[in-house]
Structure 1
Amino acid sequence: MSSEISSFRIDVPQEQLDDLHRRLTAVRWPDEAPGVGWAQGIPLDYIRELAGYWRDSYDWRAQEARLNTFPQFRTEIDGHELHFVHVRSAEPGALPLVLTHGWPGSIVEFLELIGPLTDPVAHGGDAADAFHVVVPTIPGYGLSGPAVGWSPTRAARAWAELMSRLGYDRYAAHGEDTGAAISRELAVIDAEHVVAVHLTMIASATVTAETADPGDPAEQHAARLAQRAQYELGAYAMLQASRPQTLSYALTDSPVGQLAWIVERFKDWTDSADVPEDAVDRDAMLTNVMIYWLNGTAGSSARYYYESAATWGRTEPDTDVPVAVAVLPHDIGVPVRRIAEKNHNIVRWTEFARGGHFAAMEVPDLLIDDLRGAFRDYRG
């Protein structure tokens, strides 16, 4: 395995964009039951309008240029070419921080965070809160390309190697969704170097109607979210955990299929009222979809669910690494502190007043403040 790190720049061939345009022009649309709104999935009129905007108004080249303003690299780790963004702060006391996306996310989730985290003074902050920021793309996702046999544990081992390769002996970690699982695994397998982690999810720290404290409104809210996640919103997870290959044919061949599969998650999991754009920027959401479409990673990203399904419901190994948790009220599920404290060293617990699953896209201001506060005591 080579330890070489090479520069990377996104440069999508025009033929791929032309092919996407042809496919979006030749969509075969389904029928729809009248008056159902979002109850049976994405409404036909909404997805037709969004697909039309994607084809006629969305500017990939502008988004590509913006992505390329961030230094990007590739390096081989555990047999796979890993893509990552790496932005070093000019502040001498900056703390290295690895940010990890989840499904169906990408590095696009964190673009609004990189500037304020690496250059806090330019964004109204304190130089003492600066970070060197590393944003890897999980193998099997987006710009790291298709992959087989990867799980959060294997990804965490790769992250530990990456941070070592970059020369970071002490670092912090933040993750959302699958990224939270990977960040937590880092605290277990690389505790010697991880000073603290910040999570928006702890999968094992949820409650049900039977296990929630009946006198605690927060736990009752968590139980309602858990029930909705299991019985209304969980079909996507069962399909990806059991038949990712079958799903991949539809999503890899149809851009509208890929669009609908991801955008529905943005509607269901965010602090949105009528459409996902109530919570996240439309072009940012489409750029996230493009990262999956252009790199053909619908199936390989879904396989993470298949690879991890055997561990669902298990309590994670104990960790003594300091853990900060941010709870988003409109997430697909929220952790409960008394459960989390059984096997985590919880040092900070912040309950946001707004926001959902894609915290870095929905409430970047709140997340930036919480990351600064969470890691302030672990800088040296």
Structure 2
Amino acid sequence: MDSRGAIEQFRIEVPQEAIDDLRERLERVRWPRALPSTGWERGVPVDYLHRVVARWLEYEWRSWEERLNAFPQFTTRIDSQTIHFLHARSPEPGALPLILTHGWPGSVAEFLDVLGPLTDPASHGGDPADAFHVVAPSVPGHGFSVPLKEPGWNHQRIALAWSTLMAGLGYPQYGAQGGDTGSVVSPLLGRIDPDHVVGVHLNGGLAFPAARPGDFDNLSERDQAKLAAAEHTRATGTGYAELQSTKPQTVSFGLSDSPVGQLAWILEKFHEWTDPARPLPEDAVSLDHLLTDVSIYWFTNTSATSANLYYENRHAPADPPPSTVPTGVAVFPTDPSMRHILEREHHVTHWSEFDRGGHFAALEAPDLLVDDIRAFFRPLR
């Protein structure tokens, strides 16, 4: 890996002409014809998307830009790639460094509600001894870690970049946490850098359980429900992944040219992956917070480069052997994780299952996620 570049301060400052262009596009949408009386089984309903676009026209990007800029942000160059990251240091001198990794279709914006409680627990009803210095990078090709100038940025390469980043920030010991993409990158970071990673905490796995014969025998009622949900997702909800892992460039033309196309592409995942007890995405996640996430993809024009990660991982080399780094797993509704299967690949020392929340736990149930991260890392400090 190439040497790390200088660390430079960064502020999100979307040009006003880009905001004006978005509004103009939203005001002249060419809506598709739709079959009558169809729900979500065929994708995002047209009448529902009409309502969300109307909200996007009222949405204030500048206020959310200000919320993001309230946290120190930086860029650096690692392995010839620009890496953007938030770096929120705790006021507690004994805080443990922690690197958070988002996934697709997420961004660093999904961490806004957990950064305060993680870095300053005393101000949020917690124990100061549970404090973290938080580093939250934008995954290469996502958000502000652009442009993506060469192929090969798979999960392993990202984990290597994260180890370089944490070393460059002067953190000899740190924890790793992540959901979705982060649920893969974080344990890889533990495998690649076990002398410095004290523990790995995961949530938001989506992969169908990698089972062997007999693994699904004698399942508990909870695990039977997970298996049924995972089988349903595999049968009806993986088309996006097939497209992004085989022809990511082709699908990106529509997403890059139409903000409503980009919105629908992401909104479908929020409908499918958020708490199944919540009928609509905005019942689980603030609609403005969701629109902030979509806006980041739109303003940075990263539909193609973020989808590229699926292609890269389809062609990636085998993962390194499992490490002995302690691993904690927080299982939220929609997560098919089963402990007896995950223990073959991870040194699981902490396991929690929740009945509230979903795949986007930092957005849906930040209180539960923060408490579980604290509980896992407490004995590892």
Q: TM-score, normalised by structure 1?
A: 0.95
2:246 is equivalent to residue 245 of structure 1: no
Query: Once the 2 structures are TM-superposed, how far is the Cα of residue 26 of structure 1 from its aligned partner?
Result: 1.1
Q: Retained in 1: the 8 A contact 2:208–2:336?
A: no
Q: Please list the CA deviations of residues 26-69 of structure 1 after superposition, one character each: whole Å capped at 9, or x if unmatched.
A: 110011111111111111111011112112x1000111111110
Q: Distance in 1 between matches of 2:41 and 2:214?
A: 27
User: Deviation of residue 216 (structure 1)?
Assistant: 2.0
Gaps of 5+ in 2: none
In structure 2, how many angstroms separate the alpha carbons of the residues matched to 1:335 and 1:2?
36
Q: Which amino acid counterpart does residue 197 of structure 1 have in structure 2?
A: V
1:143 aligns with 2:165: no
Q: Report the CA distance between 1:256 and its aligned residue.
A: 0.2
Q: Distance in 2 between matches of 1:2 and 1:43?
A: 46
For 1:274, which of 272, 279, 283 is the aligned residue?
A: 279
Check conservation: 1:207, 1:223, Cα contact below 8 A. Answer: no
Query: 3-state SS of the aligned residue for 2:144?
Result: helix
Distance 1:285 1:157 in 2: 30
CA distance in 2, matches of 1:98, 1:363: 19
For the 8 Å contact 1:208–1:227, the answer to whether it is kept is: no
3-state SS of the aligned residue for 1:283? helix
Q: Are the counterparts in 1 of residues 4 and 168 from structure 2 also a CA contact under 8 Å?
A: no
- Give the corresponding residue for 1:296: 301
For the 8 Å contact 2:208–2:234, the answer to whether it is kept is no
2:225 aligns with one of 216, 221, 225: 221
Find out whether 1:69 has 2:61 as its counterpart: no
Measured after TM superposition, the shift of residue 211 of structure 1 is 4.2
**What's the counterpart of residue 289 of structure 2?**
284
Instruction: Give the corresponding residue for 1:92.
Output: 93
Residue 123 in 1 paired to residue 124 in 2? Answer: yes
Which runs of structure 2 are paired with 1:293-372 in the superposition (5 Å)? Answer: 293-310=298-315, 317-329=321-333, 331=334, 333-372=335-374
| Identical-residue share of aligned pairs (%) | 51
Letter of the 2:53 partner, please give it: A
Inter-partner Cα distance in structure 2 for 1:146 and 1:351: 38
Residues 200 and 206 of structure 1: CA distance in aligned 2, closer, same or farther (over 3 Å)? farther
Please tell me the root mean square deviation across aligned C-alpha atoms, in Å: 1.7
CA contact (8 A) 1:213 1:219 kept: no
1:143 counterpart SS class: coil
Picking from 132, 147, 157, the partner of 1:154 is 157
Q: TM-score under structure 2 normalisation?
A: 0.95
Q: Provide the residue aligned with 1:40 in structure 2.
A: 42
Q: Matched residue pairs, number? A: 375
Does residue 7 (structure 1) correspond to residue 6 (structure 2)? The answer is no
Deviations 1:251-275 (A, max 9, x none): 0000000000001100000015321
- Provide the secondary structure at the position in 1 that maps to 2:139: coil
The one-letter code sitting in structure 2 at the alignment partner of 1:51 is V
Aligned residue in 2 for 1:182: 185
Instruction: Indicate if the aligned counterparts of 2:198 and 2:325 stay in contact, CA closer than 8 A.
Output: yes
Partner of 1:198: 201
Is the contact between residue 160 and residue 189 of structure 2 (CA under 8 Å) also seen in structure 1?
yes
Contact 2:254 2:261 survives alignment (8 Å): yes
Partner of 2:168: 165
Whether the 8 Å contact between 1:207 and 1:222 is mirrored in structure 2 is no
Q: Distance between the aligned counterparts of 1:136 and 1:288, measured in 2?
A: 15
Distance 1:210 1:347 in 2: 23
| Contact 1:152/1:181 (<8 A) preserved | yes
In the TM superposition, what whole-angstrom CA distance separates every residue of 1:152-185 from its partner, at most 9, and x where no partner exists?
A: 1000000000000000000001000011111011
| Whole-angstrom CA distance in 1 between matches of 2:301 and 2:373 | 32
1:318-339 per-residue CA deviation (whole Å, 9 max, x = no partner) reads 220000000112x2x4211111
Tell me the CA shift for residue 208 of structure 1: 9.2
* 2:204/2:360 contact within 8 Å kept: no
Q: Conserved in 2, the CA contact under 8 Å of 1:4 and 1:76?
A: yes
Task: State the one-letter code of the partner of 2:367.
Answer: D
The CA distance in 2 between the partners of 1:248 and 1:120, in whole Å, is 41
Q: Distance in 2 between matches of 1:322 and 1:215?
A: 25
Report the equivalent of 1:78: 79
Which stretch of the first structure deviates more once superposed, 148-157 or 370-379? 148-157
Which deviations, in whole Å up to 9, do the C-alpha atoms of 1:108-151 show, x marking residues without a partner? Answer: 11110110111000000001000000000011001112423211
Aligned with residue 31 of structure 2, among 26, 29, 32: 29
Distance 2:141 2:380 in 1: 32
1:235 is the counterpart of 2:239: yes
Q: Decide which moves more: 146-155 or 320-329.
A: 146-155
